[in-house]
A = this chain, B = another copy of it.
Amino acid sequence: MAKELKELTPRSENYSQWYNDLVVKADLAESSAVRGCMVIKPYGYAIWEKMQRELDRMFKETGHQNAYFPLFIPKSFLSREAEHVEGFAKECAVVTHYRLKTNAEGNGVVVDPEAKLEEELIVRPTSETIIWNTYKNWIQSYRDLPILCNQWANVVRWEMRTRLFLRTAEFLWQEGHTAHATAEEALAEANKMLNVYADFAENFMAIPVVKGIKSANERFAGAVETFCIEALMQDGKALQAGTSHFLGQNFAKAFDVKFITKENKQDYVWATSWGVSTRLMGALIMTHSDDNGLVLPPKLAPFQVVFVPIYKNEEQLKAIVVKAEQIAAALKAKGISIKIDDNDTKKPGWKFAEYELKGVPVRLAMGGRDLENGTIEVFRRDTLQKETLPVEGIEEQIAQLLEDIQKNIFKKAYDYRASVTREVDTYEEFKVEIEKGGFLLCHWDGTPETEEKIKEETKATIRCIPLDGDKTPGKCMVTGKPSKQRVLFARAY
C-alpha cells in the first residue's frame, strides 16, 4: 500500500508527470498557496544546502566574499540600463504600498490607500542595479579594485507557467558581482567562474556540461557576453545550468561608477556577474533519476548510506542495532554519513521503497542470519544491484562503492549525451532529428534572424557556441552563408 502511494508515473509514459511525481513524493518540494512559489521541503533543502556548501567553498577559495544587498530595487533603477529593463521589467513583483488597514466590515484587511509609496519598489529579479548603485560609493581608485562579492538570496521573476525548481516565481540562488580595473581582468573572472560552475556540475553533481558562449538572442539583458554551461536531460532536452556574464562597462556607465587608474586617468569600472539557482535541483533530478525515484550523487546526498535492520523481535533488533552503530562509527571516521532507521512503525519493505525513492546511494540491510554469519546486504541505488558481503572491513568497501557510484552516474550521463549528440548538415535533416531530442551540432551563419527562424519553425534554440571541440568552419545549414564553427542546438527547459 505504502509502495503504491509512492509510485511514480513511468518516464516512458509521461516524462513531465514523472518529474512532478518525483519532486513531490520524494519530499523535495511542493507548490504553495502563492501562485508560482514553491515550498522547499527539508529533504530537498538538505540537498540544496550540500550544493551551497560546496559552491560557497569554491567561491571563497577563488577569493570571493559574501555580502547582502536589499531585496527591493527602486523602479527607476531598472530603467538605467536600456537592455536590462527590457529583459526584467516584464515579469516582476511590484510593491506599491507599505501598510494594510482593517476593512469597513471589520473582518479583514485592505491596502491602506494613504500608505502609497512615492516610488514603487521592485522585488529583485537580479541585483546588478542595486549593487552597482552601491559599488559607486565603494570605488574611487584602482586600489579599491577588484571587488569580488557574492550573495546568497531569493529573487522573484513573475513567470506565467511555472514548474517546481525549473521555473518558479521565487527561487533561491547565488549571484556574484565583481568589479575590475580592466576588461581583460573582468573577462578572466567571468571565465574563471564558468570553470568553477563546470567543475561543480561535473565533479559534484555528476552532470557533464558543455561550456560555451550564448548567441546575442540568448544573452543576459545588459551583458556584453554571456558564458554558460549547458546540460542534457534524460528526455533529450537541454537545460542551462549556470551563466557567467561579462558586463563590460554597461552597469558602471548606467550608475556612473568611475575610478582613477594606475596611470592616473579616469575610467569606468569593468564588471561581471554570475549565478546558479535552485534550478540545479531540476537538473540533478532529470539527469540521474529513474522510475523508482531519485538517484543522488554520493557527494550531494543528505545521507550517503542508510541502514535498515530486519528483525523478528525486539531482542534481535537490539543486537542488530548494536552492530549498526559499530558500522556507523567506522563510516563516520571515514567521513561517510549514515542514517540508521530503526523506526519500528514501518516495515523493511516500506523503508526499501522509501530510500530508493529518495535516492540514498547505498542501503545496508542486516537480518538475523547476517548477524550469525557476520555478513551484510549491500544495495547500490544507481544500478539497483545488491550483494552480501562480510561485515569485517565493510567501511572500506562502502567508501570505494560511493566513489564508484559517483563515477558511474557521471559516465552514464556522459555516454547518454554522447549517444544523442550528432552533427547535422542540412535543415531538412535538422527538422527530423530535432524531434528525436538531444544535442545537434550544426553550422549557423551567426545572425539573430536565422536563429529566430529556426526557433519559430522547430522550437530549437542555440544553447551555446561551444568553447571547446571542433572549430572547423562550414556553411550555415539554413542560409548557406559562412559559419565559423558548429554551434549547439536543442530544445530546452
- Residues of A near any B CB (own CB < 8 A): 30, 32-34, 37-42, 45-46, 48-49, 65-79, 85, 89-102, 107-109, 111, 120-123, 130, 133-134, 137, 143, 149, 153-154, 156, 158, 170, 172, 345
Distance between A466 CB and nearest chain B CB, rounded to angstroms: 35
Task: Report chain B residues within 8 Å CB of A89.
Answer: 99-102, 109
Distance between A390 CB and nearest chain B CB, rounded to angstroms: 34
Q: Which of B32, B39, B96, B102 contacts A94 (CB 8 A)?
A: B96
Q: Do A98 and B94 touch across chains, with their CB atoms under 8 A apart?
A: yes
| Interface majority SS (helix, strand, loop, mixed), chain A | mixed
Name the 5 nearest CB pairs between A and B, nearest first: A37-B70, A42-B65, A40-B68, A89-B100, A94-B97
Closest B residue to A168 by CB, please name it. B70
Q: Do A72 and B170 touch across chains, with their CB atoms under 8 A apart?
A: yes
Distance between A342 CB and nearest chain B CB, rounded to angstroms: 16
Task: Report chain B residues within 8 Å CB of A40.
Answer: 67-68
Distance between A215 CB and nearest chain B CB, rounded to angstroms: 25
Distance between A167 CB and nearest chain B CB, rounded to angstroms: 15
Taken together as a complex, chains A and B put the C-alpha atoms of A96 and B45 apart, in Å, by 29
Closest B residue to A96 by CB, please name it. B96
* Residue among A98, A123, A170 with most chain B CB within 10 A: A98
- Beyond known contacts A93-B121, A94-B99: 9 more, CB 8 A cutoff: A33-B70, A33-B134, A34-B130, A39-B67, A72-B93, A89-B99, A94-B95, A111-B120, A143-B345
Q: Do A123 and B120 touch across chains, with their CB atoms under 8 A apart?
A: no
A-B contacts, 25 listed (Cβ < 8 Å):
A30-B134, A32-B70, A33-B74, A40-B67, A41-B67, A42-B65, A42-B66, A45-B66, A49-B66, A68-B172, A70-B170, A71-B156, A71-B170, A72-B93, A72-B170, A76-B108, A79-B108, A91-B98, A92-B98, A94-B95, A94-B96, A94-B97, A94-B98, A96-B111, A111-B120
Q: Which of B39, B65, B72, B74 contacts A45 (CB 8 A)?
A: B65
Q: Do A72 and B172 touch across chains, with their CB atoms under 8 A apart?
A: no
Distance between A423 CB and nearest chain B CB, rounded to angstroms: 42
Task: Report chain B residues within 8 Å CB of A70.
Answer: 32-34, 37-39, 170
Taken together as a complex, chains A and B put the C-alpha atoms of A178 and B204 apart, in Å, by 32
Copies of this chain assembled into the complex: 2
Closest B residue to A118 by CB, please name it. B35
* Residue among A68, A79, A96 with most chain B CB within 10 A: A68
Q: Do B96 and A68 touch across chains, with their CB atoms under 8 A apart?
A: no
Task: Report chain B residues within 8 Å CB of A94.
Answer: 95-100, 111
Distance between A307 CB and nearest chain B CB, rounded to angstroms: 19
Q: Do A100 and B71 touch across chains, with their CB atoms under 8 A apart?
A: no
Q: Which of B38, B90, B99 contacts A90 (CB 8 A)?
A: B99
Q: Do A66 and B93 touch across chains, with their CB atoms under 8 A apart?
A: no
Distance between A45 CB and nearest chain B CB, rounded to angstroms: 5
Q: Do A74 and B122 touch across chains, with their CB atoms under 8 A apart?
A: no
Q: Do B33 and A77 touch across chains, with their CB atoms under 8 A apart?
A: yes
* Residue among A32, A107, A156 with most chain B CB within 10 A: A32
Task: Report chain B residues within 8 Å CB of A73.
Answer: 34
Q: Do A39 and B65 touch across chains, with their CB atoms under 8 A apart?
A: no
Q: Which of B98, B107, B133 contacts A33 (CB 8 A)?
A: B133
Q: Do B158 and A98 touch across chains, with their CB atoms under 8 A apart?
A: yes
Task: Report chain B residues within 8 Å CB of A77.
Answer: 33
Task: Report chain B residues within 8 Å CB of A91.
Answer: 98-99
Task: Report chain B residues within 8 Å CB of A134.
Answer: 30, 32-33, 39
Task: Report chain B residues within 8 Å CB of A93.
Answer: 72, 95, 97-98, 121
Distance between A471 CB and nearest chain B CB, rounded to angstroms: 40
